[in-house]
């Protein structure tokens, strides 16, 4: 296996004014309530999964930028499959981290979205208000800026010198920095 790191961000695109405006809009209209920018992994030596896994020093207490809260939400795309929890998880899905989008050409858990715009527009229910903000409050130019921001998370296919903090295969979710986390009480996944 060549590598399991998060694909690097497109560092050239990331500095453009469109991407910076798009990132701001992404936060302002509420996307970032679920697609959380920054999370601190659990402290090293934390025992998880009933003792099956202990967080190694290399992965503990790291600031990462997954654009996910790793919580379950009903955004109207569920399949009626209980997500390893109580029955009310039946139509919930875990917020997809938006890092590493460049490895994908299809989006959402069912891979039915062929564009980022379609993926956004399919959000309903818990995300209804936020998607209304996207569709009704943003001009087409601003919507384009949000999508250009998402594209900057995909990388450009070139190698970048940016070093990801932690391999996403072994991500351990710890506490979310104060003030930017969601209020959703559903327990975060211990490991992905």
Q: Is 181 in the site for ligand HEC (CB under 6 A)?
A: no
- Check residue 67 and report its DSSP letter: S
Pick the closer one to ligand HEC by CB: 72 or 166. Answer: 72
Question: Which listed range, 40-48, 53-61, 112-120, 165-173, lies at the site for ligand HEC (CB under 6 A)?
Answer: 112-120
Supply 61's token pair: 């207490």
Helix 17-28 and helix 140-152: axis angle, to 10°? Answer: 100
Contacts to ligand HEC from residues 116-155, by CB under 6 A:
116, 119-120, 123, 126-127, 130-131, 134, 146, 150
Residue 36 and residue 27: Cα distance in Å, rounded?
9
Question: Is residue 191 a contact partner of residue 53, using CB atoms and an 8 Å limit?
Answer: yes
Backbone angle region of 181, left / alpha / beta, with phi > 0 → left and psi within -120 to 50 → alpha? beta
Q: Is 96 in the site for ligand HEC (CB under 6 A)?
A: yes
Pick the closer one to ligand HEC by CB: 48 or 138. Answer: 138
Q: Is 93 in the site for ligand HEC (CB under 6 A)?
A: yes
Question: Is residue 184 a contact partner of residue 71, using CB atoms and an 8 Å limit?
Answer: yes
Query: For the window 38-57, what string marks contact with ligand HEC as x by the rule CB under 6 A?
Result: --------------------
CB atoms closer than 10 angstroms to residue 158: 9
Pick the closer one to ligand HEC by CB: 110 or 162. Answer: 110
Q: Kindly list the distances between the CA atom of residue 61 and the CA atoms of 32, 47, 58, in Å, as whole numbers in the listed order.
A: 21, 14, 9
Q: Is 108 in the site for ligand HEC (CB under 6 A)?
A: yes
Contacts with ligand HEC by CB under 6 A lie at 29-31, 33-35, 73, 75, 77, 93, 95-96, 101, 104, 107-109, 116, 119-120, 123, 126-127, 130-131, 134, 146, 150
């Amino acid at each position: 296996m060549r590598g399991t790191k998060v694909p690097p961000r497109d560092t050239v695109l990331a500095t453009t004014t469109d991407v910076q405006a798009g990132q701001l809009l992404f936060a302002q209209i509420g996307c970032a309530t679920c697609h959380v920018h920054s999370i601190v992994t659990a402290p090293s030596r934390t025992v998880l999964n009933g003792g099956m896994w202990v967080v190694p020093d290399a992965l503990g207490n790291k600031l990462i930028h997954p654009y996910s809260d790793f919580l379950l939400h009903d955004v109207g795309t569920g399949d009626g499959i209980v997500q390893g929890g109580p029955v009310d998880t039946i139509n919930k899905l875990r917020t997809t981290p938006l890092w590493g989008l460049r490895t994908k050409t299809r989006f959402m858990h069912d891979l039915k979205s062929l564009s980022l715009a379609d993926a956004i527009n399919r959000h309903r229910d818990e995300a209804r208000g936020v998607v209304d903000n996207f569709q009704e409050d943003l001009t087409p130019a601003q919507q384009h800026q949000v999508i250009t921001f998402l594209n900057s998370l995909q990388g450009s296919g070139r190698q970048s010198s940016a070093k990801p903090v932690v391999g996403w295969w072994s991500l351990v979710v710890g506490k979310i920095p104060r003030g930017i986390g969601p209020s959703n009480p559903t327990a975060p996944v211990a490991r992905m």
